[in-house]
């Protein structure tokens, strides 16, 4: 059974402009993410990627079709699922520690037990932020803020991690480092990752499979299997003929969608 499955999912939004009716954003989209898989979704801006993640997280309902988590329809947010965004949404008035603790507080709606407090500290350590527990978001770099977002997601011990362009705002080196750290955490935690990006290299480097979504309304256009061995090494992997071949295929596919917008 797939870990996360989109079955003929459709979603439309009512246009804020009364006379323009509805906008179909996702159209009968089907995709299955296997347990422990790292699957990336690539697609042109506006094709419905964020909408897909928000539906999978149970934040907004599907209109038609269904999304299954462990074979059960997603209707609400689940403690088994964590989300990480590009705009990490840290609370500016909370410290690094406080922001990571929020990951658990929002699940239980009570103050944390001592065991949970240890989990918070362990998560902060896991993303390399030991020593920065008492810093506020404005006192740390963008890369470190993204690590806080990741720690906040991981502290819940999710079995599925939904990531919506999490590294989009970072400089190239910080992004490369966080990509490797994410792969490391993924291996260690053995979770399933559903990763949205518009960066071809990032998608290929990280993933077991890359799903390419068509322009709006989004449907799965093509799924590429990434045959690169793991562990992968940032700049070496990119020079591998298999990487070059996949990048070519992915770019041809995406380019077609962009030119038809
Ligand atoms: N709550 C909403 N109300 C109306 N339109 C929306 C809403 N959310 C997203 N959209 C529209 O859906 C389309 C897809 O958005 P989104 O899923 O954010 O795309 P992507 O993440 O692929 O760039 C866009 O045209 C956007 O304007
Ligand atoms: Mg988006």
pLDDT above 60: residue 179: yes
Q: Which two tokens stand for residue 173?
A: 């080196």
Ligand nearest to the CA of residue 51, numbered in listed order = 1
Give Cβ neighbours of residue 175 (< 8 Å, ≥ 6 apart).
Answer: 167, 202
pLDDT at res. 216: 87
Q: End-to-end alpha-carbon separation of the chain, Å?
A: 36
User: Residue 18 and residue 90: Cα distance in Å, rounded?
Assistant: 34
- Nearest residue (by CA) to ligand 1, atom 7, is 13
pLDDT above 80: residue 86: no
pLDDT at res. 235: 82
- Nearest residue (by CA) to ligand 1, atom 8, is 51
- Nearest residue (by CA) to ligand 1, atom 12, is 25
Give φ, ψ of 210 to 5 degrees. Answer: -120, 120
Average pLDDT, the chain: 93
Ligand 2 centre to CA of 45 (Å) is 7
Ligand 2 centre to CA of 88 (Å) is 13
- How do residues 160-172 score in pLDDT, each as one tens digit? 999 999 998 888 8
Share of the chain above pLDDT 70, in %: 99
Q: How confident is the model at residue 261 (pLDDT cuts 50, 70, 90)?
A: low
pLDDT above 80: residue 88: no
Instruction: Calculate the alpha carbon distances from 33 to 49, 181, 223 in Å.
Output: 15, 21, 11
Chain-centroid distance of CA 173 in Å reads 20
Q: What pTM was estimated for this model as a whole? A: 0.94
- Contact in structure between 192 and 34 (CB atoms under 8 Å): yes
- How do residues 26-78 score in pLDDT, each as one tens digit? 999 999 999 999 999 999 888 999 999 999 999 999 999 999 999 999 999 89
Ligand 2 centre to CA of 40 (Å) is 13
Section 228-234 average pLDDT:
91
pLDDT at res. 246: 97
Q: Ligand 1: which residues within 6 Å by Cβ?
A: 13, 23, 25, 43, 45-51
From 9, 46, 61, 220, the mutation candidate for ligand 1 (largest count of ligand atoms within 8 A of CB) is 46
Closest CA to 210 of 178, 242, 184, 240: 242
Q: Is the dihedral of CA 163, 167, 173, 174 positive or negative?
A: negative
pLDDT above 90: residue 85: no
Domains of the chain in sequence order: 1-80+206-261 (3.40.50.300)
| Residues surrounding ion ligand 2 at CB below 5 Å | 49-50
- Contact in structure between 195 and 203 (CB atoms under 8 Å): yes
């Amino acid at each position: 059974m797939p870990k996360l499955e989109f079955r003929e999912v459709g979603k439309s939004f009512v246009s804020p402009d009364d006379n323009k009716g509805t906008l179909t954003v996702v159209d009968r989209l089907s995709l299955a993410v296997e347990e422990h898989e790292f699957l990336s979704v690539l697609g042109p801006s506006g094709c419905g990627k964020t909408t897909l993640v928000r539906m999978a997280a149970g934040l907004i309902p599907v209109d038609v079709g269904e999304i299954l988590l462990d074979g059960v329809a997603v209707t609400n947010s689940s403690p088994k699922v964590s989300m990480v965004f590009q705009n990490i949404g840290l609370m500016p008035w909370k410290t690094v520690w406080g922001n990571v603790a929020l990951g658990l507080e929002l699940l239980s709606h009570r103050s944390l037990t001592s065991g949970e407090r240890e989990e918070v500290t362990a998560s902060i350590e896991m993303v390399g932020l030991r020593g920065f527990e008492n810093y506020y978001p404005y006192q740390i770099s963008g890369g470190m803020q993204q690590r806080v977002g990741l720690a906040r997601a991981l502290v819940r011990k999710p079995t599925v991690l939904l990531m919506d362009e999490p590294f989009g705002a970072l400089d190239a080196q910080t992004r490369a480092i966080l990509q490797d750290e994410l792969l490391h955490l993924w291996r260690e935690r053995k979770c399933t990752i559903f990763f949205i990006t518009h960066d071809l290299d990032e998608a290929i480097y990280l993933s077991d499979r890359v799903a390419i979504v068509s322009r709006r309304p989004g449907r799965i256009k093509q799924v590429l299997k990434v045959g690169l061995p793991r562990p992968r090494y940032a700049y070496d992997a990119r020079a591998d003929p298999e990487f070059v071949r996949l990048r070519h295929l992915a770019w041809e596919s995406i380019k077609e969608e962009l030119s038809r917008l």
